[in-house]
Amino acid sequence: MLDHAPNAKTEEMHQEETLIRMRAKIAAALAVLAAVTVQAWPGVSRAAEPGVTDAEITIGMFAPLSGPLVAYGVDPLAASRMLYEEANKAGGINGRKVKILVEDDKCNPNDLVAVVKKFVTVDNVFMLHGGSCTAALSAAIDYINREKVPYAMLNAAGDNAVFPPTKYVFGSFQGTQRSYAAAFAQFAAQHLKAKRAAVIVHDDDYGKANAAMAKATFDKLGVATVAIERIPPNISDVTAPLLKIREAKPDVILSGAYPAPAVLIAQKYGEFGMTNIPLLQSAQGIPTPSVFAKNVANPAALENFFYTWAFSDIGDPAVRTKYVDMFKAYNNGREPGPFMMSGLPSAMAVIEGLKMAGRDLTREGFVQAMEKLSLKTDAMPGLLEFGPNRRDAARTMVIIKYDGKSQKVMPGTYTWDGIEAN
Partner 1 sequence: MIFQAVLSGIVMGCVYALIALSLVIIYKSTDVVNFAAGEFVMIAAYAGLLLLDHLSLNYALMVVLSVGLVFVLGAFFERTALNHIIGFRYAAEAALVPMVVATIGLSFMLKGAVRVIPATEEVLRLPPLFSGPPLFFGDLILQRQDLGIVGVAILVMVLLSVGFNLTATGKALRATSQNPRAAALIGIPVKRMRMMAWAVASGLAGISGILLGPKLLMTPDMGSVVMMGIAASIVGGFTSLIGCVVGGIVLGVVQNLVGIFISPQAIAVTPFFIIMVVLVVRPNGLFGEAMRLKKV
Reference 215, options 266, 250, 164; nearest CA is 250
**Longest CA pairwise span in the chain (Å):** 122
- Which is nearer to partner 1, 263 or 302 (by Cβ)? 263
Give the residue, chosen from 203, 303, 316, 378, that forms a contact with partner 1 under the rule CB under 8 A.
203
Return the residues of window 213-252 that contact partner 1 according to CB under 8 A: 229-232, 234-241, 243-244, 246-247
Q: Distances in Å between the alpha carbon of 242 and those of 187, 261, 298, 406?
A: 22, 12, 17, 26
CB of 105 to partner 1, least distance (A): 17
- Which is nearer to partner 1, 107 or 370 (by Cβ)? 107
**Do residues 188 and 217 lie in contact, with contact meaning Cβ atoms separated by under 8 Å?**
no
Return the residues of window 53-112 that contact partner 1 according to CB under 8 A: 68, 70-71
CB of 136 to partner 1, least distance (A): 18
CB of 231 to partner 1, least distance (A): 5
The residues, ordered by sequence, that sit 6+ positions from 285 with a Cβ below 8 Å of its Cβ are 255, 256, 257, 258, 259, 261, 262, 292, 307
Choose the binding region for partner 1 from 17-25, 146-154, 290-298, 308-316 (rule: CB under 8 A).
290-298
- Which is nearer to partner 1, 232 or 317 (by Cβ)? 232
The residues, ordered by sequence, that sit 6+ positions from 110 with a Cβ below 8 Å of its Cβ are 139
CB of 292 to partner 1, least distance (A): 9
- Which is nearer to partner 1, 64 or 171 (by Cβ)? 64
Give the residue, chosen from 124, 160, 295, 415, that forms a contact with partner 1 under the rule CB under 8 A.
295
- Which is nearer to partner 1, 273 or 388 (by Cβ)? 273
Under the criterion CB under 8 A, does residue 271 sit at the interface with partner 1?
yes
CB of 208 to partner 1, least distance (A): 13
Under the criterion CB under 8 A, does residue 288 sit at the interface with partner 1?
yes
Residues 309-328: x where in contact with partner 1 by CB under 8 A, - otherwise, as a string = --------------------
CB of 144 to partner 1, least distance (A): 29
Reference 168, options 368, 382, 383; nearest CA is 368
Choose the binding region for partner 1 from 27-35, 288-296, 307-315, 358-366 (rule: CB under 8 A).
288-296
- Which is nearer to partner 1, 17 or 237 (by Cβ)? 237
- Which is nearer to partner 1, 266 or 384 (by Cβ)? 266
Choose the binding region for partner 1 from 164-172, 283-291, 304-312, 392-400 (rule: CB under 8 A).
283-291
Give the residue, chosen from 294, 334, 372, 405, that forms a contact with partner 1 under the rule CB under 8 A.
294
Neighbouring C-beta atoms of residue 66, cutoff 10 Å: 13
Q: How far apart are CA 383 and CA 286, in angstroms?
A: 23
φ, ψ at 233 (rounded to 5°): -60, -25
Under the criterion CB under 8 A, does residue 208 sit at the interface with partner 1?
no
CB of 352 to partner 1, least distance (A): 33
CB of 236 to partner 1, least distance (A): 5
Under the criterion CB under 8 A, does residue 21 sit at the interface with partner 1?
no
Return the residues of window 369-408 that contact partner 1 according to CB under 8 A: none
CB of 161 to partner 1, least distance (A): 24
Give the residue, chosen from 49, 145, 195, 272, that forms a contact with partner 1 under the rule CB under 8 A.
272
Give the residue, chosen from 93, 263, 265, 314, that forms a contact with partner 1 under the rule CB under 8 A.
263
Residues that bind partner 1 in the complex, under the rule CB under 8 A: 68, 70-71, 203, 229-232, 234-241, 243-244, 246-247, 259-260, 263-264, 271-273, 287-288, 291, 294-295, 297
